[in-house]
Each structure stands twice: as C-alpha cells, then as structure tokens.
Amino acid sequence: MARVIVDVMLKPEILDPQGQAIARALPRLGFSGVSEVRQGKRFELELDGPADEAALSEVRKMAETLLANTVIEDFAISIAE
Amino acid sequence: MSAARVGVVTFPGTLDDQDAARAVRLAGAEAVPLWHADHDLKGVDAVFLPGGFSYGDYLRCGAISRFSPLMTELIPAAQAGLPVLGTCNGFQILCEAHLLPGALTRNEGLHYICRDQRIRVESTRTAWTSDFADGQEIVLPIKHGEGRYVADAATLAALEGEGRVVFRYAGGNPNGSLNDIAGIANEAGNVVGLMPHPEHAVEDLTGAPSVDGRGFFTSILKRLVNA
C-alpha cells in the first residue's frame, strides 16, 4: 500500500488569473513579501500495492490521460512518506 | 427526400441541448437526441455539442465528458469527416478530446461573462460557416467563465497561417483569448468550436440580439444536401 501524489500546475507561460487574484489579496490581508502566486491541483492516489516502477508508470499514464491537460499543464509525481 | 439528421448530444449537466435541437428544427433538419452513455451515433449526418456544465466541470471543463461512451464513437467519426460543431462547453470538450488544438482557460478577468458580443467571421471555408461572408460581423450571446483560448506559439501560427481561426471577437476581447480567437476549425474544416452561442440567436421571439446564429444551421444543411 502506498500513496502517490500528483501535482498539476499550469505551464509557466500560461496566464493564471486565479493566482494573480490571490497574490493581490495577500497585501490587503496584511501579508507582505510575496511577489507571485501560481495556483495548481494536488491529487492523492492510494495504490492497492507498492509504489514500484510499474505502478509509477501507470500513474504517469493516468496523469497524461486524465489528471493533467498537457497542452496547458505540467505534472510532477512523488511518493508520500 | 428525407431531412438531414443532426445529432444533439446531452451529457449530465448540459444546458443548451433543447435550444440547439430547436435551432436544428427551425433550419429544417431533424434533431436527433444523442445520450452521453450510449455507444451510438444513430447514423446522424452531423453532430452539435451544446454548452453547459457537463459533469459539473469537474477536474477541467470537458475533461470527463471527453471520455464518455458517446465521445469514444464521435472522436473517430469526426476524424473521418463527420461535421461536428461545439459551442461553449462543446468547444471545451472538442479541445479536451484533441479534435481541436489548444485549450480554454479561466477568463482573464475571472468573471463569468454573459452578454451580447460582436464577432467577425474569419473563415467561410468550414462545414458550418459557408453561408456567411468572409469578414462579416455578427452578434451572438456569450456566457462563460472559461473561454480564454490558449495554445503554444507554433499552434497559433499554424492556425493563423492555415486560415483555421474561424471567429474573432470584435469591439473588444471579453476574456483575454490569444489573438482575440473566438472559434477555430480542424484542418479539414468539418470540426468547428466556438465560445459564442449560435443556437441562442435564431429567432426574434426569445429576445435574441440577432438571428445571426441561423447561418450555422443553413451552412451545414446546404453541405449535407449537396453531399
């Protein structure tokens, strides 16, 4: 049993108006020192078995097929401790 | 001679299928209801993918719909030349299905926009726009929160170079779409997607800003009758 994390982010060149709105809200709330915010998605996948190479390869396929739209998004896969 | 048969797809969360079917019938064709869970295109001559919030826009707009049983039939049929028009959520689904390049992202100003919009017809060489004139300005309703068209530089250059930008916003860009793009076509011109709503602009009775939407339906009917 393992938990695999897939983080999906808009590609750097894609405008993120939600992140910009959050960045503009921070100073209004008294938070300073943040120059940019990018908003993304995090998926937590509970695997039936171990996070071995075969399972991670499957997760990569899931990310490419469904979790991310690779036209506009990048993804990163990691194994939760 | 039997009337041309235009399929209108309903997903869970589709809103505009009844207006689309009505527009098809007003144009003199038969509207054939297609259900997302069926592996059956019912032998239609063309397909209209209407707007709405299919599958609640979960994950990304159109991301779940794109894998529905109906779409697994529609994608190869469209690649083989079946005329398909996607409006709003239908456009988003066509992009997620990679029948059209690029993607539709959150509006630049974050607001959901609902208003009448001037649009310039940039290409009449598609199955759905032959009845317009090149450069003609029309007025259609828009209503979307995720309508900002994006694609990488190479894709944009190809779309522009090959005359596949079919519609451009006129009199101001409502959502930040790159190159003011409101709608595009595939290479063959049988698949067209746009954010504005022709099916809401086909009769005066409903208070539509115009009846310019009729041109989409008369275009496809001419194509089907002459096919």
pLDDT at B148: 97
Residue of chain B minimizing CA distance to A67? B59
Q: Are A15 and B148 inside 8 Å of each other by CB? A: yes
Q: Are A72 and B95 inside 8 Å of each other by CB? A: no
Give this complex's ipTM: 0.88
Residue of chain A minimizing CA distance to B93? A69
Q: Is B61 a catalytic residue?
A: no
How many domains is chain A partitioned into structurally?
1
CA distance A54 to chain B (A): 24
CA distance B204 to chain A (A): 37
Q: With bands split at pLDDT 50, 70 and 90, how would you rate the model's confidence at B3?
A: confident
| Structural domains of chain B in order of their starting residue, each with its CATH number | 5-226 (3.40.50.880)
Taking only the tens place, the pLDDT of each residue in B9-45 is: 999 999 999 999 999 999 999 999 999 999 999 999 9
Contact B75, B224 (CB under 8 A): no
Contact residues, chain A, for B109 at CB < 8 Å: 17
List the domain range (segments joined by +) for residue A28.
2-79
Contact residues, chain B, for A19 at CB < 8 Å: none
Q: CA nearest A42: which of A16, A4, A2, A15?
A: A4
What distance in Å separates the CA atoms of residue B50 and residue B52, rounded to the nearest whole number? Answer: 7
- Beta-carbon count within 10 A of B198 CB: 27
CATH code, domain carrying A17: 3.30.1280.10
Q: CA nearest B166: which of B178, B139, B140, B184?
A: B184
Q: Is B160 a catalytic residue?
A: no
pLDDT at B227: 67
Per-residue HEC secondary structure of B57-74 comes to HCCCCCCCHHHCHHHHHH
Contact B63, A71 (CB under 8 A): no
Contact residues, chain A, for B95 at CB < 8 Å: 71
pLDDT at A10: 97
- Beta-carbon count within 10 A of B27 CB: 21
Q: With bands split at pLDDT 50, 70 and 90, how would you rate the model's confidence at B191?
A: very high
